[in-house]
């Protein structure tokens, strides 16, 4: 719908791929991905952006666009 949403989706997908390549034997969960993106994208450290990031991660998992374990801790944010 917007370039902002496109950036969020591509950032999450890219980060997921990077983490999986760096640690192929380890199972990735939503919280790890969320923390990785926030560490990488320092400008996303606002409450609104954190909420959007958590929601984007959860939606991509539910849509089957990436495979990561659901995190209960992220459920509150999403």
pLDDT of residue 43: 94
Whole-Å CA distances, 58 to 1, 8, 10, 15, 23: 18, 12, 14, 14, 21
Task: Give me the residues of the chain with pLDDT under 70, please.
Answer: 75-78
pLDDT of residue 77: 57
pLDDT of residue 44: 93
């Amino acid at each position: 719908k917007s370039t902002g949403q496109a950036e969020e989706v591509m950032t999450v997908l890219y980060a997921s791929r990077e983490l999986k390549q760096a640690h192929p034997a380890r199972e990735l969960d939503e919280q790890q991905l969320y923390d990785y993106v926030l560490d990488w994208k320092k400008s996303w450290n606002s409450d609104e952006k954190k909420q959007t990031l958590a929601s984007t991660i959860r939606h991509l998992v539910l849509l089957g666009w990436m495979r990561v374990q659901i995190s209960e801790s992220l459920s509150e944010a999403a």
